[in-house]
Structure 1
Amino acid sequence: MRPRWHAFLDRVAERGDYDTPQEAERAARVVLALLGAHLVGDVRTALAARLPETFAVVLLNPLQAAEPLTPERFVRATAAWIEGATERTAAWDVSAVLSVVADAAGEDLTGRMLLQLPPGYDLLFGRPDLSR
């Protein structure tokens, strides 16, 4: 489990240009907790199976969302959960984490995730070519 966890976190840290592994982990936990509230059924389960166990648990036990968040509101919610974050830094965090999630998920599962999310998330995942 640990090597897979480190590999995932290393990719997030590299994409997010974080100074410490703790910053990358905090971003990953918040973004995955928010993402988990937006995915349902076999899509969420399939994604969890492709993530390191620690992050799979976060995805499967999401923060609650009363309604699907637009990409802009998702970024604002991320900023609210990360101490000291601004919308600009949160957008960076979201893109760093979701692009690594898309790599772990593969194109097919990423496409299925995008079908469950409001329009515009393809850019956050770094996959504008997967637009509906």
Structure 2
Amino acid sequence: MIRTDVFLKAVQERGKYDTTQEADRAARVVLALLGAHLVGQVRAQLAAHLPEEFALILLNPLQSAEPLSPERFVRATAAWIEGATEQTAAWDVSAVLSTVADAAADDLLNEILLQLPTGYDLLFGRPQPT
């Protein structure tokens, strides 16, 4: 399990945020939305790789009626972050999910991507061969 400060520092560096508070806000929103898309053991296994406070967010997600396409996921992120645009939300999603990808083992990331609509591999910064 990665420590909270290490996780947030990685998100902050990737997102080029001025403060860890900005990185924290992005991480909370993105993980709450991601948690709504993952089920069962995959969600629990990913949570085990995250700092406890972020694992709890992933395990108690926002509700989603249907899996969101990557584009709609970015739009939903923008809606939850005050002052965000789709461009800044795409940056937020990428900063958080690429950090999550580094925290998870490759086989777990592959299982995560199998539960998500096509195109999420790019959001995680791990393009898959087509």
TM over 0.5, shorter chain: yes
Unaligned segments of structure 2, at least 5 residues: none
Distance in 2 (alpha carbons) for counterparts of 1:13 and 1:83: 18
Instruction: Give the % identical residues.
Output: 76
Distance in 1 (alpha carbons) for counterparts of 2:110 and 2:16: 26
Unaligned segments of structure 1, at least 5 residues: none
1:51-94, Cα deviation, whole Å (9 max, x unpaired)? 00000000000000010000000000000000000000000000
Question: Which amino acid in structure 1 is aligned with residue 39 of structure 2?
Answer: V
RMSD over equivalenced CA pairs, Å: 1.3
Secondary structure of 2:79 counterpart: helix
Structure 2 residue aligned with 1:22? 21
Alignment of 1:30-45 (within 5 A): 30-45=29-44
Alignment of 1:5-84 (within 5 A): 5-84=4-83
Whether 2:119 is the aligned partner of 1:124: answer: no
TM-score relative to the length of structure 2: 0.97
Q: How many residues align?
A: 130
TM-score relative to the length of structure 1: 0.96
Secondary structure of 2:3 counterpart: helix
Structure 2 residue aligned with 1:115? 114
Structure 2 residue aligned with 1:105? 104
Pick the structure with more helix per residue. 1
1:106 Cα deviation after fit? 1.8
1:124 Cα deviation after fit? 0.2
Distance in 1 (alpha carbons) for counterparts of 2:11 and 2:120: 18
Question: Which amino acid in structure 2 is aligned with residue 119 of structure 1?
Answer: T
Question: Which amino acid in structure 2 is aligned with residue 99 of structure 1?
Answer: S
